[in-house]
Each structure stands twice: as C-alpha cells, then as structure tokens.
Amino acid sequence: MRATRLILLGGPGAGKGTQSKRLLETLGVPQISTGDLLREARRAGTELGNQAKSFMDAGALVPDSLVVALVKERLAQPDAAGGYILDGFPRTAAQAAALDDNGIAVERVVNLVVPDEVLVPRLAGRRICRECGSSFHVDFHPTRVEGVCDVCQGQTYQRADDSAEVIPQRLRAYVEQTAPLVEFYAARGIVRTVDGQGDMEAIFARILEALDR
C-alpha cells in the first residue's frame, strides 16, 4: 500500500514544495508547509506572523512552540484525516518529538538529497508568484513574461530569505538542526533517500516509488 502520512525532508531549495504540490494531486492529501503557513500569517499581520518575522528574515528557525501549535491545529482539520504531506516540518528534534507526543504516526520520510552547490543557485534564482505560490527560476524555469506568473498572471517576487546574505544561514540551520532527523527516523526504518537532482518528473517518479516500498 502506498504511504500517505508523509514527511518530506531536505535542505532549503531541495524541491520539497514543488514535489509536495505534485504529490497532493496524486495522493489526494493536503500539503502542510510550515513556511507557507508562516508567510501567510505574516501577510495577514497576525501575532504569530509578527513573532516569526525576525527569525525568518535572518534565515533562522522560528521557535518550536510557535510552529508546533500551527501544525497541530492544521493536522486536526478534517482533510488531514486520511494523510498529509509535511513539507518543512519537523525541522528540529523537539518538533519530531511533538509529533510522537501527539500520537501522529508518520509512515514514510522522503529524504530529498541535493548537494549544497546545487541548492545555492536554485535558491538565489528562485521567483515565487504572490498570488498562487507557483515557483519559477530565472535561469532554469523562467516565466514567459518577466515578473508575471505563467499560471495565474500574478506578480512574481524573490523571497527576502533567498538572498545571497541569508542563504548560508539557512543551509547551516538545516545541517545543524534538521539533518539529524534523518537518523532519528532511519532508526524506525521509514526513511527513503531520493536523489533530488535532475528532471522534475523523474524526481516525482522516484518519490512515488519510495512511497510504495
């Protein structure tokens, strides 16, 4: 049986968001991206959004308590009853422990592996649509009209934390705080390592295969 209670692990720019969006169509379970939820909270000007802002802009992780509360609330929604794709969560040992403490039984952890020298240019050239969240790249996947989303004609922008100044800190946060989770879940036998380089469709096929074995 194909796993539907998933975590996508991988460094910033590894393709978690892109692949999650494809996966949700195929699996019919929601993508839960803490990065998207936090950016949404910031746009809406909520207390949470204001608290998260300085951490995000510095490329640091937002405190566990804030993110855990956000995910708990989202996972309690009815659409997550049959499964979920956790994209960008957990990112620390404490966040992984919170899943266990709340009886949230993850079936599969897909570890999308991409070397740093590939991640950096991917992040630096990334452009996101303000309206629909579609992701583009100035060199590898440019929009047909500069600054205009191919999907919805919305305006595209560069995330502040995709700047050359902030990228190294995000990579460091990943290595120090998140990468150890691979071992944590490997001890349960639920990690599948997937090569995150190359054609998007080929990567997607590898992920589906990882959910079946």
So which residues are the catalytic ones? 16, 91, 126, 159, 170
Tell me: does residue 35 bind ligand AMP (CB under 6 A).
Answer: yes
Q: What DSSP designation does 77 have?
A: S
- Residue 85: both structure tokens together: 């794709």
| Min CB(56)–ligand AMP separation in Å | 4
* Closer residue to ligand AMP, CB minimum distance, 146 or 183: 183
At residue 135, φ and ψ (nearest 5 deg) are -110, 135
Question: Hey, CA dihedral for 168, 192, 3, 5, is it positive or negative?
Answer: negative
- Residue 162: both structure tokens together: 């995709």
Tell me: does residue 75 bind ligand AMP (CB under 6 A).
Answer: no
* Binder of ligand AMP out of 3, 23, 41, 62 (CB under 6 A): 62
* Binder of ligand AMP out of 38, 98, 167, 210 (CB under 6 A): 38
Tell me: does residue 34 bind ligand AMP (CB under 6 A).
Answer: yes
Tell me: does residue 7 bind ligand AMP (CB under 6 A).
Answer: no
* Binder of ligand AMP out of 6, 41, 48, 67 (CB under 6 A): 67
Separation of alpha carbons 113 and 193, rounded Å: 7
Tell me: does residue 5 bind ligand AMP (CB under 6 A).
Answer: no
Q: Locate all alpha helices (DSSP H) within the chain, ordered by sequence.
A: 16-27, 34-44, 47-57, 64-75, 93-101, 116-124, 167-173, 180-186, 200-212
| Min CB(178)–ligand AMP separation in Å | 8
Tell me: does residue 184 bind ligand AMP (CB under 6 A).
Answer: no
Total chain residues near ligand AMP (CB under 6 A): 17
Contact 10, 114 (CB under 8 A): yes
Nearest-CB residue for ligand AMP = 35
Separation of alpha carbons 48 and 74, rounded Å: 14
Residues 94-153 close enough to bind ligand AMP by CB under 6 A: 95
Separation of alpha carbons 152 and 210, rounded Å: 32
Residues that bind ligand AMP (CB under 6 A): 12, 34-35, 38, 55-56, 59-62, 67, 88-89, 91, 95, 161, 170
